Amino acid sequence: MSYLVVDPELLVATAADVAGISSTLSAANAAAAAPTTGLAALGIDEISAAINGFLSLQARQYQAISAQVVAAVNARIAQALSAGAQWYAGTETAIATSLRGAEQQLQGVVSLLTGRPAPTTPSTPSPSTPTEPTTPTTPTTPTTPTTPTTPTTPTTPTTPTTPTTPTTPTTPTGLSATYSTASQWDGGYIGKYTITNASATPISNWQLQFTMPTGSAVTSAWGGQLVSTAAPQYSVTPASYNATIAPGTSVEVGFQAANTGTYAPPTNPLITGTPGTSTPTVPTTPTTPTTPPTLPTGGTVISNQYGSTTITGGYVVQNNAWNNPGGQAITVSQTGFTITTENGSAPTNGAPLGYPSVYAGVHYGNASTGTNMPIQLGQINSATTSIDYNYVPTGTWNASYDIWLDSTYTTTGVNDQEIMIWFNHQGPIQPVGAPVGSTTINGKTFTVWDGSNGQNNVMSYVANQPIEVWTFDAMDFIDHTATMEPITDSWYLTSIQAGFEPWNGGVGLGVDSFSATVN
């Protein structure tokens, strides 16, 4: 781009000089007019007169045309130069005004950014035109600059997503594994993974993988087959009864671990499986109520540590607060009972506070009405029992059946074998002994524990899913226990009991109804 610098005053002076030249030429023509038009007579004859007249006419015409041309040319030149001077003067004024406006806007931006008022710069008066000087223009009051619009932050271009390298094997959508610790002790602990299928299709052939921390090793597992024992990596595949996980359900995989040093949970869980196309038929598992039941306002209250009473059907209800003297009370109805007071607390790695329960048979010399127990196992065709539990979401407790067996006929004292069925439990508690496997009885899946409480053998069946209402044959559990314990048909069934073992809390836990019939 080129720039032209023009001095308007110089153009005005030049126009004046050109006008002066025009005046000088006009004067010269006028001076020459007389000699040209006033030629001396050449003769007095007619020819000379004619020639003289012709030449005089031509001279006059020349002078007239010359004067017109000179006047027109000089007038146009002067007019053009004067107009050019005015145009350049006007352009200079416009440029100066524009620059002042830009300066004011810049000062406004600086003021906005710094918070200081912008200095006021008076406008320079407009220069006068060449033809007629004018009064300098009154300085324009600077317009408050418009607050500049904050520039819109340009949208950051979306970075192309780097394709995720698929993990092999792929975890199906909706399949997850949640870890929890059932119990801990010096040198070991019980861990559990709950595998949940939140999808709309069944998942089969699942596999669980996890990494044990340094100093820990899995010693046994249940709810699945431990197929890899190369510490610290472990892999568990399904048992025969839980190979397929129905939509909206879960299975549990437990293990016992030995550890040295500080406890740390396993890491890097990976659960895989194959989505199915149809939903298998699975037994409906009653859910645990989220709100505690209303405590009974009537009924018989038993607060004595070993107090008991009889209800409809001749069944015995006992407080049995053997580890909590004076801190437990139950309210008894015609068909069951509810825990209404529980003031004690027991360590979760030890014995519970008691076993408030209802039973059929004979227990420590106290027999239910019309019972045929003790009875030899070989004489029993069935031992049908039914229960309807009420659960609460607070406290630490289990809901359990007790099936008592003895190698001899006895109505007092401690029996030789206890079979416990954990229908439900809450808190970091576990049965005595250690898990030895799992089994499915009458459609319900249980983790099996074997141990001793120091007085008798205890075989425990912990339900993988809470059971609230159930009717079953107690002989199914007796027969399964007989495959692992020295129980024969000559042994005696002494009682069938249903109740709760609280470690702390548990007010509102109750048995709505109970029955047991041995044929």
Q: Which listed residue (252, 342, 468, 501) is catalytic?
A: 501
Give every CB contact of residue 197 below 8 A, 6+ residues apart in sequence. Answer: 174, 175, 203, 245, 246, 247, 248, 249, 250
Q: Which listed residue (252, 342, 418, 468) is catalytic?
A: 418
Tell me the fold of 300-518.
Answer: Jelly Rolls (2.60.120)
92 included as an active-site residue? no
What are the structure tokens assigned to 281, written together? 């038929």
| Coil, strand or helix at 60 | helix
Would you say 475 and 382 are in contact if contact means Cβ atoms under 8 Å apart? yes
Strands 316-318 and 357-363: antiparallel
509: exposed, middle or buried (Cβ count in 10 Å: 0-12, 13-18, 19+): buried
Q: How far apart are CA 129 and CA 126, in angstroms?
A: 9
Q: How far apart are CA 168 and CA 332, in angstroms?
A: 58
pTM of the model: 0.48
418 included as an active-site residue? yes
| Coil, strand or helix at 232 | coil
Beta partners for 257? 189, 218
- Give me the architecture of the 175-275 domain, per CATH: Sandwich (2.60)
List the domain boundaries for the chain.
8-114, 175-275, 300-518
Helix (H) / strand (E) element for 84: namely helix 46-114
From first to last of its 519 residues, what are the pLDDT tens digits of the chain?
Answer: 444 555 556 555 665 665 666 566 566 666 555 554 444 444 456 676 677 677 777 767 777 776 676 677 667 776 766 666 677 667 677 676 666 766 677 776 666 666 665 555 554 444 444 444 444 444 445 445 445 455 455 455 555 555 555 444 455 567 888 998 766 766 777 788 888 888 888 888 888 888 999 888 887 777 778 776 567 888 888 876 678 888 888 888 878 788 888 888 999 888 886 554 433 334 444 444 444 445 566 689 999 999 999 999 999 999 999 999 878 999 999 999 999 999 989 999 999 999 999 999 999 999 999 999 999 999 999 999 999 999 999 999 999 999 999 999 999 999 999 999 999 999 999 999 999 999 999 999 999 999 998 889 999 999 999 999 999 999 999 999 999 999 999 999 999 999 999 999 999 999 999 999 999
Question: CA end-to-end span of the chain, whole Å?
Answer: 116
Residue type, 282: V
Q: Tell me which CATH code domain 8-114 carries.
A: 1.10.287.850
Q: How far apart are CA 123 and CA 515, in angstroms?
A: 107
